[in-house]
Amino acid sequence: MEKILLSLYQLRHKDYSQKELSEILKISQKQLSRKLDIWQFENVLIYESGKGRGNKTKIQWLIDIEAIYYAKVKHLIKTDTLDKVVQYLAWDWSPLQQQILFKKVNPQLGLYKISDHKEKLTITKRYKLFTVHPLEAIEAKSANVVMSVFNRLFTYNENEQLEYNLAHHYELTEQYIDIYLRPNVQFHDGTLLTSVDVKRCLETAKKHHNTQELLAPISTITIINPLSLRIYFNQCPHILALLSFVPLSIYKVSKDKIIGTGPYYIKANNEVKTVLKRFDQYYAHRAFIDTIEMIYIPDYTQTIIGNPENPLTTIEKEMGYYYLCKSVNSQLNADQIQYIRNTLIDHYRYAINKHFKVSLNSPKVLKQSKYIKSKQLLPPIFTSPVMIDCIGKNDIRIQLIKTTLEEHNVPVHLNYIKFDHVMTKTHLFEGDFFCFGEYLEIPESISYYNFIFNPSSSIYNILKAYPWFEPLKKYYLSTPFDKWPRINHLLDRWLHKEGILFPLYNKNIKLKYDSNINGVKINEMGFITFQDIWMK
C-alpha cells in the first residue's frame, strides 16, 4: 500500500496540472511522473501528462484503490497489533471509510487482562510526546508521563501539603538543607539510589537552560554519606517547593537510556506509540495496571480512555487558562490596550459560549484571583492591525479572538508560530500580544513564580524585557515563602490592570472513560495519574 497513491485517488473528481498535483502530494514533479509511469505499468491507472502552462493531467482509474486498501487495513486490524495498524488510520480516507476503520479499532482500546495479575490499558492520543527527559518536560503531556517514570525528592498534595518522595526527611536552616534519602530505592536497572545521583541531577539542572536561573540561589551541594546530602543556598525561601518541581525529578543514564525510580518505566517510545511497563520493585504504592500503551493517531478526535463501545463515565475539572501577554515593544497606547482588554473580557467569553455551547466562569489565573474592572472607553483609533502571536492555526478559539475584536473596530493580524518553537525558545516574538495556554502545578505559590520568572515559561522572553522584572524577582527571593501567595495576587492584579497579562478563559478538561476503569482523576497536568487507576 502506498499513502501517496491513496491521496491521489481522493483527487479523482477534478483535473489538476502536474505542478498542482505535485504540490498537493508534497513530492517533486519528477517523482510524480516516475510514480505515474509505474502505476500505469501496473494497470492501476491510465494517464495523459498535463505538463505545460494551463494543461491538466488526465487520469483514468482502472481499479478502486480505496476499496482495496480498506479491505487490507480491515484485515490487518483483525490479525495484527494496533501499533502496526495505526499508521494507516491517518491516511487520506474518505470520511465514512475513516470513521468505520476507527470504529473497528475501538475494541482493541481499553483495559483488559493480558495474563494473571497483569492488565493492559491502551489509550489513543493525537500527538507523540515532546520529550521523556525530566529537564525538558515543560509541557503538560510530557510532564504527566515523567511523573509516572521518575520521582522527585518532595511533592505537594492537592491541599498543598508537603509529602516525602525520595527524601525520607530533612533538616532546614537559613543557609542550607540536609536531605536524608529513603534506603533501598531502586532505579529501573536494579541499581540503588544514592546521594551521588541526586547531587549529579541537581548540578546538571544548574547548568541546563530550563532550570539554570531557577537554581541560581543554590551555591554548592556536598555529600554527607551515601544516603544524605547538604544543599547550600543564598536567599531561597522556596527551597522545599523548588525541589518538588517536575523537571527536578531524579534520573540516571544507563546504557544510553534515561531511567528513573518511578512506578513505571519506558518500554518503548517512538513515532507510533509510547509504552509504560509497571516497575515491580517500586519502593512505594505499586501500580495496579501492568502496561500503559499510548497509541498516536493524528486525526483521532475522540477523547476517550478505554473502549468507546463500553458504557462510559465522564469526569470534568477546570484546568489552566488561555491568556494574552503584551510585549514591552508594542506601540499600542494605554487607551488601546485597555480597550482591547475590556472588549475581550466583556465579549470573548460569550463568543466561546455561543460557539461551543459551554458555560465558562470568569477567567482567572490564580484560584482566588479578584480583578478590578476598568472604566469603559470609547473605541480608540487603530491605524494598523494589532498583531497577535499564537499557536494553533486551525484553533477556532484563536479565530474567535480576532472575530471578537474586529466586531468592536479593532483590526487584527494573527501571526502563527509552531508549538515546538515556543518550547525550544527558538521563536522571536514580533506581535503586540502573545496568546497561549498554561497550567499551574501544585503548589500554586511557586508555580505562579515559575510562570513569571522561570526561563522555561512560555512568556519568559516577553516579560524579562520589562524594567520591573529583575527587581521584583529579587524581592520574591528576599521574602519568606509563606508571604508569596499575597505577592502573587498583588502582581496578578497589577498585570491585569495594566493589560500586560490577562486571562481570556479558564479551560475545562473533560475526559470520558470506560466504566470498567476505576481510580480515574484529573491531575494538575490535565490528564490521569496512571498509578492510581485499577480494574474491577
Band (294; pLDDT cuts 50, 70, 90): confident
Would you say residue 106 has pLDDT above 80? Answer: no
pLDDT band at 50, cuts 50/70/90?
A: low
Is pLDDT larger for residue 220 or for residue 255?
Answer: 220
How much is the average pLDDT of 268-278? 87
Instruction: Name the 3-class secondary structure at 325.
Output: strand
The pLDDT assigned to 137 comes to 79
pLDDT digits (tens, 9 = 90+) for 144-183: 888 999 999 999 888 889 999 999 999 999 999 999 999 9
How far apart, in whole angstroms, are the C-alpha atoms of residue 513 and residue 520? Answer: 8
pLDDT at position 40, please? 92
Cβ burial of 383 (10 Å; 0-12, 13-18, 19+) is exposed
Residue 306, all three cell numbers: 478505554
SS3 assignment, position 63: coil
Q: Could you give the CA distance from residue 7 to residue 498 in angstroms, rounded to a whole number?
A: 51
Question: What is the overall mean pLDDT for the chain?
Answer: 86
Dump pLDDT digits (tens) for 183-217. 999 999 999 999 999 999 999 999 998 889 889 99
Identity of residue 251: Y
Q: How many residues are recorded in the chain?
A: 536
Under the banding of pLDDT at 50, 70 and 90, the label for residue 352 is: confident
Q: In 3-state terms, what secondary structure has residue 313?
A: strand
Q: How far is CA 528 from CA 115, 386, 400, 461, in A?
A: 24, 38, 30, 31
Percentage with pLDDT > 70 across the chain: 92
| pLDDT given for residue 298 in this prediction | 65
pLDDT in tens, 429-450: 889 999 888 888 888 889 999 9
pLDDT over threshold 70, residue 92: yes
State the number of CA atoms in the 13 A half-sphere of 65 facing the CB: 24
Q: Per-residue confidence at 46, pLDDT binned at 50, 70, 90?
A: very high
**pLDDT confidence of residue 206:** 94
Q: What is the pLDDT of residue 390?
A: 87
- pTM of the model as a whole: 0.76
- More confident call, 386 vs 160: 386
Alpha carbon distance, N-terminus to C-terminus of the chain: 41
Helix, strand or coil for residue 290? coil
**Amino acid identity, position 115:** S
What local confidence, expressed as pLDDT, does residue 158 receive? 81
Q: What integer pLDDT is reported at residue 99 of this predicted model?
A: 75
Range of weakest confidence among 1-15, 115-129, 277-291, 370-384: 115-129
